[in-house]
Structure 1
Amino acid sequence: MSPQAQAFTVTDWQRLHMLAPLVDQYFAEPRKELLAEIRLNEGLLGATHVDRLRARITITPPANPNNESAAGDGPAVARLDERRRRLGGGAS
């Protein structure tokens, strides 16, 4: 779970439930209108670093001497290129 999700209210979770089918639909048949709606909603939820800066959301990572992710599924990925490599998308 993302750190900002800990502060989500019921309406934030409702927005995510409404957004999930749009994301599925976009991956099945990409359309710029769907992507625009997805990006708008993601921005309102603080999905990116810039979104969080605009909303003045600050996230303090938990103290973790072993550099493990909060989910305990291995080392946390701090760099975008490393994250992309892990997801199979290569580095840009």
Structure 2
Amino acid sequence: MRIRTLTALALATGTLATAGLFGAPGAQAMPWDTTVQDCMDGGGYPDVSDDADLDSPDLPWVCVGGTYDGRPVSDLGGSGRA
């Protein structure tokens, strides 16, 4: 019984090592936040996300257009609001 368990463990380890060796795709990283100034310098403007709940006290701002299009905007006067 132990031989079967060890064999299965060895096969699983080998499979994971092979996947890592040949560059199996990993999880995509989330885009990092940008500042209002970076957004505007890149040719965009900060705007409230299309799927925002307007009754929420913390509106999700995103950069629209330009170099940073679609990235979350984190610095809106320090309070998170415009």
Task: Return the TM-score normalized by structure 2.
Answer: 0.22
In proportion to residue count, which structure has more helix?
Answer: 1
TM-score (norm 1): 0.21
**Structure ID, larger Rg:** 2
Higher strand share: 2
User: Which of 1 and 2 has higher RCO (CA within 8 Å, sep 6+)?
Assistant: 2
